[in-house]
Chains A and B, each alone.
Chain A
Amino acid sequence: MLEAAAPLLELDDVSVALNDGARPMVSGISLSIRPREVFGVVGESGSGKTLLARTIFGLHDEAHVAGGRISFNGEELPQHGRHRAAAAKLLGHDVGFVPQDPFSSLNPSMRVGKQITEALYLAKGMPMHAAQTRERAIGVLAEVGIPEPELAFNQFPDQFSGGMRQRIVFAIALSQEPKLLVADEPTTALDAITQRRVIELILERSRTHNLAVLLITHNLELLRQSVDRIAVLYGGQLHNIVKSADVGQRPLHPYTEALFACIPSKGRTLAEIRSIPGEPVGAGFGTTGCAFASRCGFAVETCRTARLPLNDGKGESFSACLLGRGAEP
């Protein structure tokens, strides 16, 4: 049960721009994630979801936060030039990161155990060669389901499969006892069976460790079954924040509904699948007009010209639809 706690991560009208670009690629993002909440972010390619997630945590080399306020655990992060350094400090301490590619996120020349003890040292100051640190590392390897963790401790990453490597990356993040885990498409490169196992592991362990999770993926159905709330991005705009439980129970933002309608999920016949006409719009659409208007069945003229509303954060859900579709009744 999520009580009305102070938000862990709070974004207020945040925009992200490329370092060599003029206009922002992502704009008007306002959302908050509570402690222990499992929050999903979904979007097609070009929606800006990865750009946003990486840049607010200072992980993007070619982009920066161009506007808005970001607060973590009640403290506002500095803006402009000093944002990146401050955000980087959060990583490895309060924020853990599981990136997409399991094959390049581990140092191939360093033994697995050492990568964890190093993380423990950086996060908690535990001495790298102490027995206690080693115990902790082996413990967290066991926790993520690595068989024979004492042996694994001394092995190199390339001795493990993709799914195992993702678990190790997760183990590193867990060991630092963060408050928020950011997982950026953590299972896209894995096969279906491994994918489900790793996602379930991440969610289950996060529950045990009282972590909040920010899960970024393009798999809408996965989110609907796994997370508390879902933010929907398109064209660099935030269109909808919905409670997973509300999907199918009440009208949502037209884009969200259209997206759900085109997934060939279980039990759906061909006739029930409705594709969205046209091509997805890339990030950088700006805040004037709704990026989805060109493909939306309900769009009217104002949808193209009016300024998209911001999430005032007062409710659990939010819909940016200028016609009010998907708003909380």
Chain B
Amino acid sequence: MRRLLSYPRSTIEWSAVVVACLIVLMALFGRWFAPFDALQIDFRNKLKAPSFVHLLGTDETGRDVLSRLLFGAQLTLSSTLTVLVIVVLIGCTIGLFSALIGGAIDNLLMRLADIWLGFPPLILALGFASALGASLEAAILALVLSWWPNYARLTRMVASDILARKFIASADALGVPLTRKIFAYLIPNAFDVMIVQVSLDVSAVMLAISGLSFIGVGAQIPAPEWGAMIADGRSYVSKAWWIVSAPGLMIFLTAVSFNIIGDMLRRELDPTLRRDRREGPAGA
């Protein structure tokens, strides 16, 4: 833990960590702090500017923007997390299998992943929307299907690198069984690279989900997903800017802070750093 706390090196990085933590807390507990029901319509109070009652104003149907924001946090982040967890599970398993089995099958799987990467996620999402009906679930499915090859390729590359190292040959000479090789050798040594990729992808996936919701193939009305909120408030930008700005700002902050955290992790966990070696950097 102490080592983790030493990672942030500048005010920006500390701010990013704080902001990310706050957003996660918001996603977990926000709903209990919401002053209003996110779906509560109240036409008498529509398009009200921010005030003490409605801290972030109301939207075109009188719903409290702040409450929607808090509920939306959970929606947006949980869908992001769902995509990432499934993608990591599928992609890493395939990648690991590919690296371990090697040979023609490895080649085949990776070429398959390459081809699959050619599918633009947007087209896929639109396809699902028309086939299954537009919904957040459809958007998640579309993203999972278009994102897994990234992790398959990354895992395969990282695993192959690790498998080529001498301590794996030592383990083979010792007769270490495969399961232990995977869980005690491959995964711990791949973890650093993977965690960097995942943190960078948090913002990418989130933007993708919000983007899909924005164009209407993701979360549907009245779900307070942030992208959908921006879509809802699009027509009122000049009259009631708060409807669009609040979720927009949240998306921005989330994306930027996780990106900064990802960069920070990449710097700190870079395996090419010669921290591990006893020889000084001078190579004297």
Contact = CB atoms under 8 A, between A and B. Distances in A.
Contacts of A60: 282
B284 interface: yes
Contacts of B281: 18, 62
Nearest to A16: B282
B279 interface: yes
Instruction: With a 10 A CB-CB cut-off, give which of B278, B280, B282 has the most chain A CB atoms.
Output: B282
A221 to B, nearest CB: 20
B283 interface: yes
Given A46-B279, A60-B282, 14 more contacts: A25-B280, A25-B284, A26-B284, A43-B284, A45-B279, A45-B283, A47-B284, A48-B284, A51-B280, A51-B282, A51-B284, A62-B281, A63-B282, A284-B280
A26 B279 CA distance: 14
B283 A50 contact: yes
A137 interface: no
Contacts of A49: 284
Interface in A124-146: none
Contacts of A282: 278-280, 284
Contacts of A52: 284
* Most interface-central of A45, A48, A236 (chain B CB within 10 A): A45
Contacts of A327: none
Contacts of B279: 45-46, 282
Interface residues of A, number: 19
Interface of B: 278-284
A163 B38 CA distance: 75
Q: By DSSP majority rule, is chain B's interface helix, strand, loop, or mixed?
A: loop
Contacts of B284: 25-26, 43, 45-52, 236, 282-283
21 contacts: A18-B281, A18-B282, A25-B280, A25-B282, A26-B284, A45-B279, A46-B278, A47-B284, A49-B284, A50-B282, A50-B283, A51-B280, A51-B282, A51-B283, A51-B284, A60-B282, A62-B281, A62-B282, A63-B282, A282-B279, A284-B280
Q: Would you call the interface of chain A mostly helix, strand, loop, or mixed?
A: loop
Interface of A: 18, 25-26, 43, 45-52, 60, 62-63, 236, 282-284
Contacts of B280: 25, 46, 51, 282-284
A95 B274 CA distance: 31
Contacts of B283: 45, 50-51
B144 to A, nearest CB: 43
Contacts of B278: 46, 282
Contacts of A25: 280, 282, 284
Nearest to B279: A45
Contacts of A283: 280, 282, 284
Nearest to A236: B284
Contacts of A47: 284
B10 to A, nearest CB: 16
A97 B186 CA distance: 42
A196 B281 CA distance: 29
A45 B274 CA distance: 15
Nearest to B282: A51
A183 to B, nearest CB: 16
A282 B261 CA distance: 34
Contacts of A45: 279, 283-284
A46 to B, nearest CB: 6
A63 B280 CA distance: 12
A47 B279 CA distance: 10
Contacts of A26: 284
A123 to B, nearest CB: 28
Nearest to A49: B284
